[in-house]
Amino acid sequence: VSVPGDAALGPGREFDLIRSLIQRWGAAAVGIGDDAALLRVPRGETLLASVDANVEGIHFQRDWFAPDEIGYRAVTAALSDLAAMAARPLGMLISLTVPESWMHELGRVADGIGEAATRFQSPILGGNMAAAVELSITTTVLGAAFAPLMRGGARDGDAVYVTGLLGGPGAALAHLQRGEEAGDGRPRLAKPVARLSEARWLADAGAMCAIDISDGLVADLGHVAAASNVHVEVEASAIPVFPSASLADALQGGDEYELVVTSPAALDTEAFARRFGVPLTKIGRVVGGPPTVDVRGARVADAKGYDHFSR
């Protein structure tokens, strides 16, 4: 069922639930009220769409996060794909599957979704809800861009830059998977940032290619190398590593949602840091050669990153 408008909702538990979510979202939910959402794309811009599923037991364990963090990070991960294209969010559709055992926490999950919608200025336009055996949050994000950045935009001679400090989420996740406290990297894992404003700044400054780090720096640069048919060289000593993380966490850890960009023009890293309060670091270059990634000065035992279907 599409989420009907709050005024038009009929009786029944499902609609009571939806009504309560819309109420909790307040101004974060916009234009919900018909069978489908209406979007206006500015003339001359391109519509971008992406969908991302976050499933209990696969992407997270229930006891790792507070319910609002589960909602927040699911939506932010989806929005990060718009950042990777330097797009501005127009809004999103939220599809929830909810087991009975989660019903009493559903409001708090929704609060996290609403918090991310507000922070990243991406209104909730509609959605869907179904009963299921595990909690899942599937977010469809819709955005617009005049000149989207693509993975295939890297060229021989470009410099490679990364936003932020890497390895925090990977280190925290490794701790959680061993049954330990998540440590200092926990906020980076539980409340990631979609670098939407940063991406548009980078595109305006001359970046021609971008990807967000969801699977790991080396793995995601591998996608750039393949899509652009270029070779990428990264200097291990240049990688900005999160204080309590290792170089391996920084090279291979996923769930970063930092951006990697390539640019033919030098980017003003100090101006970026002043504007956004996070570093922008030159970590390597694009050179001629096979479409792969080399990390100079580090042994990368397994640079494959997160593979959704590996066992």
Tokens of 221: 């640069």
* Closest distance of CB 27 from Mg ion, Å: 28
- Enumerate binding residues for Mg ion (CB under 5 A): 81, 84, 212, 214
Task: Tell me if 140 sits within 8 A of 51, measured CB to CB.
Answer: yes
* Closest distance of CB 100 from Mg ion, Å: 33
Cβ-based nearer residue to Mg ion, 126 or 305:
305
C-alpha atoms less than 13 angstroms from C-alpha of 5 in its C-beta half-sphere: 9
* Closest distance of CB 214 from Mg ion, Å: 5
Cβ-based nearer residue to Mg ion, 151 or 175:
151
Cβ-based nearer residue to Mg ion, 139 or 214:
214
SS (H, E, C) 13-76: HHHHHHHHHHHHHHHHECCCCCCCCCCCCCCCCEEEEEEEEEEECCCECHHHCCHHHHHHHHHH
Cβ-based nearer residue to Mg ion, 106 or 261:
261
* Closest distance of CB 210 from Mg ion, Å: 9
* Closest distance of CB 81 from Mg ion, Å: 4
Task: Tell me if 123 sits within 8 A of 31, measured CB to CB.
Answer: yes
- Helix H segments across 84-167? 106-119
Q: What angle do CA 90, 91, 95 make, to 5 degrees?
A: 155
